[in-house]
Each structure stands twice: as C-alpha cells, then as structure tokens.
C-alpha cells in the first residue's frame, strides 16, 4: 500500500536511491500525481472517463463494469485483469505472462498465492516502464499498475513492482503507523523471493541491501519505526527490520525456520490484505508459526526507539563484502560466522 508521505517538492531530493529501488519512491509519488492530474492525462489521451480509474483509491465499481476482462488461474487463485482506457504497445498476452510470472514467484515464497481472487487493474500511462503500483484490500484484494504506453518486454522482465504489490496482498491491512512493516516486507521479500525463483542472483540482492539498507537507519529526532514515517525508515528501515527478524528467528531455531515460515504462518492464520489486524495479532501468528518470541522482541526493541544496528559488522558476520569482480561486485565468505544463516535465508522451507 502506498500513500503520499512527502511533498512534491521533496521528490528530487533523494538522488542516492539505487537504480533497482528508485522507482519505489517514484511509484508512490506518481500514483498521487496521476490522481491529481487525472483530468489532464485523460484529455491528453483522448480517452473517455479515464479519470475514473486514477482515483486515489481502487475504483472497484469502474473495474467491475469493464467489459473485457481476462481471467487467469494460477496456483489455485484467480486473477481478473482489466484495462483502463489508453494505448499500450505491448500485446495483452505479454502483460498477462508477466503477471503470471510475478504470481508464480510470490506463490513460491508463501507456498500459495496470498488470496483466492484478485482484481488487477492496468492503467496505461505516458512513457515507458512500470510507473507505479498500489495494492488494496478493503473491498477484495486488488492491485492497480500504471504501465507506460511504450513499455517493452525487457522493461517487464526487469520490473519488480508487480511482485512488490502482490506481496502486499499477503499481509493484513495495518494502521498507518505500521506501514513500515508492510513496505519493509514487500521490499525484503521481493528480493528473497526472486532469488528463490531464479529471477535474480543472490549477489545482486546482497549488493542492494548493502548499498540501500543504511537509508533505513534512524536520523536525528527519530522516535522508532512506529513513530517516524519517513521514506527511508518506512521502506529500508522496514526491510532492515525484516532482515534482522529473519536472522533472529534462525538463531532461535537452530537455523531451521526464518521469516518465510513466520509470514506463511500469518497467511495460514487467515491474514491477508482483505483483513484488518492489529500488530499484536500479526506478531502472535508469526511467532506461533516459528515457536519463538523473535518478532515480539524485535518489535518491542525497534518500534518506539531509534535503534541503529551496526550494519557493517552485520555484513561481515554474514560473509558479504564488496570489491569482487563481476557478481554485482560482491564476494561471499562461506566461513563467516553467519554464512549458514545467509544461505538458509535463500532456501525455501522444506
Ligand atoms: Zn509498497
């Protein structure tokens, strides 16, 4: 779930964001930009009632009225795909294959697709590439994706937004102060799930984490994850929490379980974006699944205080270092104290 968390004048400030995750930021803002400029875009495209599909919230009624919709069955779930008015160069079959691939990656991580049915609204946009996405659950699981008119197959193959939004469907809707958990899980799990599905190399995600996770560290006046709704804390602070939680669960279970088991447990307990849960209910379901107190303990530590883990020390213990040729510039040390945990994070539960 995305929402506007900075003023438009601040969009350009954060130029240090990595290439692969840069669009998260843009996605959040563009969606709102679309909503604000919907009448103009609609005029530019000459499309009838396009504005109906770019409202801040999912236009369930307008979606349901769309005449041509495609149903895709995958992993026991049904995705209903509809298109808002507008032009797209890519054939719809190509877009459907891209969505199927994203659904397969997410299903592999969770053991199944997070919901039985999901509406997927494709909104053609200007330019090229995936321009943003949002996930909704209050009237049934739904995802809206903005796709640039001139998007190519290569753009789709590089994309992570569809996977990110599908991961959102697996967590119950939470209060705004906990959005760092939903965004953190989406950022972290997107990386892990894609490695597990052979969609990314492990060195790539460790390089990304090394480069980007420091953006999730607290700055001056930070009051902990629940009380500091900055972009960095929400996306990368949340992802850092997920990595620390994954490691903690593994340390408490002799490396037999991790975050993946915990989040499958939340899903199996009936949690999905179609439900609204308190944080304590999510924590209880996750900790029950792993038989640990890892989630509760880490949440108590990081939710209301500015905790700054020593990330450099963490990478060293995990056996990840910069400077190697090729392989995303990352060398992996299999003798490092937490190397077995690092390897296990990328192995789906047996
Ligand atoms: Zn998100």
Reported as a single tens digit per residue, the pLDDT across 205-244 is 999 999 999 999 999 999 999 999 999 999 999 999 999 9
Q: How far is the CA of 52 from the centre of ligand 1 (A)?
A: 22
pLDDT greater than 60 at residue 181:
yes
Q: How far is the CA of 183 from the centre of ligand 1 (A)?
A: 5
The rounded Cα 153 to chain-centroid distance in angstroms is: 21
pLDDT greater than 90 at residue 37:
no
Q: How far is the CA of 28 from the centre of ligand 1 (A)?
A: 8
Q: How far is the CA of 164 from the centre of ligand 1 (A)?
A: 6
The reported pTM is 0.87
Q: How far is the CA of 168 from the centre of ligand 1 (A)?
A: 7
The average pLDDT across 312-336 equals 92
- Tokens, residue 202: 């492990």
The average pLDDT across 127-131 equals 96
Instruction: Indicate left, alpha or beta for 132 from its phi (over 0: left) and psi (-120 to 50: alpha).
Output: left
Least trusted range by pLDDT, from 41-55, 92-106, 335-349: 41-55
Tens digits of residue pLDDT in 240-263: 999 999 999 999 999 999 999 999
Mean per-residue pLDDT over the chain, rounded: 88
Specify the pLDDT at position 48. 55
* 124 confidence band (pLDDT: 50, 70, 90): very high
pLDDT greater than 60 at residue 45:
no
Half-sphere exposure of 57 (CA within 13 A, CB side): 7
Q: How far is the CA of 249 from the centre of ligand 1 (A)?
A: 24
- Tokens, residue 341: 């945990």
Specify the pLDDT at position 350. 77
DSSP run (H or E) holding 55: none
Distance CA 175, CA 114 (A): 20
196 contacts 249 by C-beta, under 8 angstroms: no
Ion ligand 1, residue ranges at CB < 5 A: 183, 186
Q: How far is the CA of 27 from the centre of ligand 1 (A)?
A: 9
The average pLDDT across 25-30 equals 34
Q: How far is the CA of 239 from the centre of ligand 1 (A)?
A: 11
Q: How far is the CA of 165 from the centre of ligand 1 (A)?
A: 6
């Amino acid at each position: 779930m995305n929402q506007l968390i900075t003023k438009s004048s601040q969009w350009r400030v954060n130029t240090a964001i990595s290439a692969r995750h840069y669009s998260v930021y843009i996605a959040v803002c563009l969606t709102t930009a679309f909503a604000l400029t919907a009448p103009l875009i609609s005029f530019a495209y000459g499309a009838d009632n396009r504005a109906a599909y770019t409202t801040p919230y999912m236009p369930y009624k307008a979606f349901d009225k769309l005449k041509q919709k495609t149903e895709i069955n995958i992993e026991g779930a049904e995705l209903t795909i509809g298109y808002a008015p507008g032009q797209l160069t890519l054939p719809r079959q190509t877009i459907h294959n891209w969505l199927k691939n994203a659904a397969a990656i997410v299903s592999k991580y969770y053991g199944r697709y997070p919901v039985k049915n999901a509406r997927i609204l494709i909104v053609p946009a200007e330019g090229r590439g995936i321009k943003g996405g949002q996930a909704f659950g209050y009237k049934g699981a739904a995802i809206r994706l903005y796709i640039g008119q001139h998007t190519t197959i290569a753009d789709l193959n590089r994309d992570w937004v569809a996977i990110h939004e599908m991961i959102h469907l697996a967590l119950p809707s939470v209060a705004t102060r906990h959005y760092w958990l939903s965004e953190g899980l989406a950022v972290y799990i997107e990386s892990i799930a894609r490695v597990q599905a052979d969609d990314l190399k492990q060195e790539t995600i460790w390089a990304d984490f090394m480069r980007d996770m420091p953006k999730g560290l607290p700055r001056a006046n930070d009051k902990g994850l629940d009380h500091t709704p900055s972009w960095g804390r929400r996306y990368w602070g949340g992802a850092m929490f997920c990595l620390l939680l994954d490691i903690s669960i593994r340390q408490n279970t002799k490396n037999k379980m991790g975050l993946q088991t915990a989040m499958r447990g939340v899903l199996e307990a009936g949690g999905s974006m179609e439900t609204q849960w308190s944080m304590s209910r999510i924590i209880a379901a996750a900790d029950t699944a792993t038989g640990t107190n890892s989630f509760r303990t880490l949440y108590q530590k990081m939710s209301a205080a500015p905790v700054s883990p020593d990330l450099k020390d963490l990478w060293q213990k995990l056996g990840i270092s910069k400077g190697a040729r090729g392989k995303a510039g990352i060398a992996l040390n299999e003798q490092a104290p937490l190397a077995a945990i690092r390897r296990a994070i990328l192995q789906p539960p047996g």
